[in-house]
Structure 1
Amino acid sequence: MTIERYLHASERANTRRSYQGAVRHFEVEWGGFLPATADSIASYLAHYADTLAINTLQQRLAALAQWHADQGFADPTKSPLVRKVLKGIRTLHPAQEKQARPLQLEQLRAVVNWLDAAAAGAEPAAKLRHLRDKALLLLGFWRGFRGDELTRLRVEHVQAVAGKGMTCFLPYSKGDRQARGKTFKAPALASLCPVDAYLDWVGAAGLRDGPVFRGVDRWGNVSPVGLHINSLVPLLRAVFSAAAVPFADEYSSHSLRRGFANWASSSGWDLKTLMEYVGWRDVHSAMRYVEAADPFKSLPAI
């Protein structure tokens, strides 16, 4: 029982749920059998080649590979047949990678101004939600947190001092493969301050420990459990829509991370500093978030 407990803790909850869903899709929805053969894996890929994105298919393969490794079977996903089928799918079904629209600083300011105005005349429950959303937005942007990092943040792991700054400790994160934990710092700012927003939210909600970001019901009761990762995108899009931000349905939690990366890059941060601040381990990960400068922008109109 103790071994199973530690094995369970070694996996990220999101990855575990995703892999379980992928294995269930292979067995239940497609009707495959486990352990699988290379032929059945190849047939599975071919069946969904024109309906599922290549990234989704690769995630399904990773889940099936993990299942076979856990059960002590040979991994059929590494066979030459499967590799060739996957290469053929990439060739015949090319798709441009979809990325979340980055949240620009002026848009962040507009949303925060709307939240402040809405909170000023709101009922207690709505005011609490506006304070929470403001803290989530500002901390997510200025710290470049992933969505799951925001939902896993705990009050006892945050130290915040008004006018000074704050530190956020995460016991594990995507880039922390050894699960040693990492402390992230966030600045106190003259405007759009994540420190003040955090202190206002936890103070109004009366939080002393547990998850930082939680649900608030219609009567103003704050949930004892944190927001679910799947609720984050609908929450952000609803706030952006209410604040009249164009293309609100194109934003996600990655929009905060991409928005900060673009702001930092345009403000003169070098790539090494940005990678260390956000926590990227390699250049390729960082470049997925930073938009390249337009080389023709400075040219005169023709």
Structure 2
Amino acid sequence: MPPSTRRAYKTCWRNLEAWCRPRGLEPFGGLTPSDLIEWTVHLTTVPSQRTGELLSPSHIGKHLSAVTAYHRAGQLPAPDGYGARKILESYEQRLALENHPKATPRKASAAVPRALRKLTAVCDPATTIGVRDRCIQLLGMCLAARASDLVAIGRDRIRVDPDGRGIAVLVYRRKVKKWAWKGIPYGSHPDTCPVRATIAWLDLLDKAGFTEGPVFLRVDRHGNIAHKIMRKGREVGDPTGRLSTEAVSDVIERAADRADLPGRWRSHSLRRGLVNAARANGADLVDIGRHGDWADGSKELIGYIDEADIWDTEHNVLYGIGL
């Protein structure tokens, strides 16, 4: 399980424990389907203590998933969630009819080439952090990478093609537990070429003495690579200097702020961007799925494709019907 998911489930489980305590209920192995329904009703009606707002349907769904995950990990049968899921569906429909902001899924904006050019333009190529951030953005988009995919890449997993076609990158897709080599060809425009951006960053790492280990490392505002982070006299963070997945998202968010790009920009913007750009260019759905290592029949991938096709003359059925 990715660390970010584990942390989210831990928070959800603590919320369940706090709800169970005054009711004398045991959350682990002691909940009935009725208890789960009552808890779901609570989540749909009582605002969050942290934000003062109602939880979104997706957030409540994560709470229910946490119950299943904790019981599965403890090798205990989870309470039947059918009734709780029906409560959640009703809540989602009510919010939609009320035109409530929480009814609309919050998806990351897609870093298609048009947006990617703006993101990379605000990364100063004369600075160490600018070179690194451009590499994260361009390589991440071309690999259809999640943040966890990027931070796992090591120096030994990037090879320059001997025939001069580009670079090959060995990616571990943690979510589907799969290793795969991906060929990244040279780009048409030097400023947004993923190969040139990657080689420039690797050259900087070599000059700084980082010839092995993780590719994407911390860089402070002074240009120091893999600097130590101290908190209350103790060193924190990955001792190798490896970036965290949250830091990758920060790279995208900061660039979007500087570029004044509207929307919701996260590390997942890179993965979404590849799907939209490839589909707009006529790439086959199967090829896109194989490149990004989506599981067969992935609803996530289909959702991305639906968004990419809404103005496509080949897939929008309203074109050419005579209106």
| Greater alpha carbon shift after TM alignment, 47-56 vs 80-89 | 80-89
Change over 3 Å in CA distance of 1:277–1:73 after alignment to 2: closer
In the TM superposition, what is the alpha-carbon distance from 1:173 to its structure 2 partner?
Answer: 2.3
Q: After TM superposition, give the deviation of residue 189 of structure 1 in Å.
A: 2.1
Give yes or no for the alignment of 1:86 onto 2:88. yes
- Residues 107-146 of structure 1: matches in 2 within 5 Å? 107-115=115-123, 118-120=124-126, 127-146=127-146
Q: Which amino acid in structure 1 is aligned with residue 125 of structure 2? A: A
Q: Which residue of 2 aligns with 1:63?
A: 66
State the secondary structure of the residue aligned to 1:185.
strand
Aligned to 2:44: 49
Over the matched positions of the two proteins, sequence identity in percent amounts to 22
> 1:34 is matched with which residue?
27
Q: What is the aligned length?
A: 276
In structure 2, the CA distance between the partners of 1:199 and 1:297, relative to structure 1 (3 Å rule), is farther
Q: Distance in 1 between matches of 2:14 and 2:251?
A: 28
- Deviation per residue, 1:149-194 (Å, 9 max, x gap): 11222222222348422222234422x2xx3522222222232221
Aligned AA (1:104): V
Q: What is the CA RMSD across the aligned residues, in angstroms?
A: 2.6
1:257 and 1:289 in contact (8 A); partners too: no
Aligned to 1:148: 148
1:293 equivalenced with 2:310 (yes/no): yes
CA-CA distance at 1:37 after TM superposition:
1.3
Given candidates 227, 231, 244, the residue that maps to 2:243 is 227
Measured after TM superposition, the shift of residue 237 of structure 1 is 1.7
Structure 1: how far apart are the matches of 2:6 and 2:199?
Answer: 33
Please tell me whether residue 246 in structure 1 is matched to residue 261 in structure 2.
yes
**Alignment equivalent of 1:25, drawn from 15, 32, 35:** 15
Counterpart contact for 1:165–1:186, Cα < 8 Å: yes
User: In the TM superposition, what is the alpha-carbon distance from 1:101 to its structure 2 partner?
Assistant: 1.6
Q: Distance in 2 between matches of 1:27 and 1:37?
A: 11
Change over 3 Å in CA distance of 1:80–1:234 after alignment to 2: closer
> What residue is the counterpart of 1:7 in the other structure?
none
Cα 1:66–1:165 shift into 2, 3 Å: same
**In the aligned structure 2, how far is the partner of 1:202 from the partner of 1:131?**
10
Give me the whole-angstrom Cα distance separating, in 1, the residues matched to 2:90 and 2:43: 13
Q: What is the deviation of 1:292?
A: 2.0
- Compute the displacement of 1:204 (Å): 0.6
- Which one has a larger percent helix, Structure 1 or Structure 2? 1
> Would the alpha carbon gap of residues 266 and 70 (structure 1) be closer, same or farther in structure 2, given more than 3 Å must change?
closer
Aligned partners of 1:161 and 1:195 also within 8 Å: no
Structure 1 segment 238-277 matched on structure 2, within 5 A? 238-242=254-258, 244-247=259-262, 250-277=264-291
- Give CA deviations for 1:83-116 in whole Å, capped at 9, x if unaligned: 443333333334222222212312222333342x
Paired residues of 1:210 and 1:225 also in contact (CA < 8 A):
no
> Displacement of 1:280 after TM fit?
1.8
CA–CA distance in 1 between the matches of 2:88 and 2:256?
38
- Structure 1 residue 297: deviation in Å? 9.0
Residues 211-240 of structure 1 deviation map (CA, whole Å, 9 limit, x = unaligned):
221211233221132221122333212112
Q: Which secondary structure does the structure 2 equivalent of 1:214 belong to?
A: coil
Deviations 1:28-65 (A, max 9, x none): 47746322412332222111215222222222212211
Counterpart of 1:98 in structure 2: which amino acid?
R
How far does residue 73 in structure 1 lie from its aligned partner after superposition?
Answer: 3.1
| SS state at 1:186 partner | strand
SS where residue 170 of structure 2 aligns? Answer: strand
Cα distance in 2 for residues equivalent to 1:30 and 1:246: 43
Shift in CA distance, 28/193, structure 1 to aligned 2, threshold 3 Å? same
Change in Cα spacing, 1:105 to 1:69, as seen in structure 2 (3 Å) is closer
